Amino acid sequence: MVTLRQLFEKGYFGKMLSTQLIMEQIRDHPIVATISIAVGAVLASEVMWKAVLYFRDKREKARRVHEVVCFNELGEICATQHLRNCMPGSPEPVVFRCKNKHCTLRNVGKIVEQIDRAEHSIDLAIYTFTSLTLAEAFKRALQRGVNIRIISDGEMVYSGGSQITTLARFGVPVRVPITTYMMHNKYCIIDGVERVEEIRMLKKRKWMRPCYSIAIIGSVNWTRQGFGGNWEACVITHDEKLTLMLQAEFNRMWKAFEKAENKIIQKE
């Protein structure tokens, strides 16, 4: 049984007296009490709003990116070590940390990271695409419900090891120009503003989850040779003007190649 002494030691009666004093103050001074409660509520809501802004800004900063990724002859010196850690039968591992700042797998991982963050759309204009690692990232995006479109070259789309035809069989719409000229672009827009708005209207939604537009553009084809054999560079950026311009050009090409003969294999 709890004794009175134990209750006093625990401050039980002190807490009761404090509560009683507060209630008496409220009864005796209702206006002051009301104002105090209102001020307290405002201050509490202000603190909560500041906390929301802090964590939102922290998330936004984590999503902002503006860097140049270079691929060169030094990128493969650590490849053997990374491949030892790869499970048998799986594609190349995605490496985010490596002491070699030129590491090919780590640099490819930076592109994978952006694809894995896609919320609504990915538009890719690429000359050659054979990378299994990036193809797997695209498949994960499809599973999340991300809308993907691809524009490629009319000949290279059917090159050996092409992942574009594979993705087409998964339901990704692919268009190519019917011409002797090359579709030589190598860029990707993730969650482009214009495209996200188009998706919102098509789905008749009043609101879409907030997202951040990212552009990936450079000289590199998405191939083993491009990432691990050539001297190449690409920029990964959230620059608003650049993403808007690239999205506008992709949309223009997509419309220009809308005839039936410009479309390749669809989902079987």
Which of the residues are catalytic? Answer: 184, 186, 191
Q: Alpha carbon of 161 to those of 117, 130, 177, 183: distances in Å?
A: 26, 5, 20, 18
Neighbouring-strand partners of residue 218? 234
Coil, strand or helix: which one is 259?
Answer: coil
Q: What are phi and psi of 200, to 5 degrees?
A: -60, -45
Q: Alpha carbon of 256 to those of 112, 187, 202, 209: distances in Å?
A: 29, 18, 20, 30
- Rounded-to-integer distance, Cα 212 and Cα 190, Å: 8
Buried b (16+ CB within 10 A) or exposed e, 138-177: beebeeeebbbbbbbbbebbebeebbbbbbbeeebbbbbb
Of the CA atoms within 13 Å of residue 265, those in its CB half-sphere come to 13
